[in-house]
Structure 1
């Protein structure tokens, strides 16, 4: 039996699931875009293969430049505007799920912090996980 991880938006109109129970990575992103999009010091995201991910409900998509310099597409519920996931140009075939949209957010535990040079001074990061000044990922790979 395949285990499924599920989540959705605040109002319940958007639902998603992934069969990827071992995400490719789980990071806290401290870039300014994530700070502005979330209204908090970072966004907790986990990467899963696009082929393992499905979503239902009406979504809005907006594009912006990510910290890598490439395009990031962010998907939000069209009704309550909850940010659900993103697809980065730098990592084609990957979906970045906003971890706090998980039905069970306890599933998430960060493996690393990235864009720590952009972190606010009062952000209390976990000293036990690796830190990256910018993205953990590089363009083209």
Structure 2
């Protein structure tokens, strides 16, 4: 939002998912977030994000990276992997450059939230998160 931190990524994403987990709901203040999965090597970033770690549904640490100036949530990483980055699609210069492929953590979806009925849904993570 404030552009104190800028990022871009090269190449196609590994996945684009709409996540309904309770952590994403609380972190975004809405029913779900759309995450774009990329390899860490694809990410170019200027500026130094701050981090905050919470426990995810798996019991592992979820590291939120955000702007220390305006507090915009930029991307998330798992404490289990330093190679997978999950970008918050709303922080992209053009969020329309990605299209959700599935809905995850549907078991936590709020009754009033709506999704494309053509998208596959999973109660938790899909069998292969790169789907």
Same fold per TM (> 0.5)? Answer: yes
Q: Is it true that 1:11 corresponds to 2:2 in the alignment?
A: yes
Q: Is it true that 1:37 corresponds to 2:27 in the alignment?
A: yes
1:83-94 correspondence runs (5 A): 83-94=73-84
Paired residues, number: 128
Q: Please, what TM-score do these two structures have when normalized by structure 1? A: 0.86
Q: Is it true that 1:103 corresponds to 2:107 in the alignment?
A: no
Runs of 4+ in 1 over 6 A off after TM superposition: none
Uncovered stretches (5+) of structure 1, i.e. residues with no partner: 1-9
Q: Please, what TM-score do these two structures have when normalized by structure 2? A: 0.92
Partner secondary structure for residue 4 of structure 2: coil
Uncovered stretches (5+) of structure 2, i.e. residues with no partner: none
2:105 is matched with 115
Partner secondary structure for residue 37 of structure 1: helix
Q: CA RMSD in A?
A: 1.4
Q: Distance in 2 between matches of 1:95 and 1:33?
A: 16
The 8 Å contact of residues 16 and 56 in structure 1, kept in 2 or not, is answered as yes
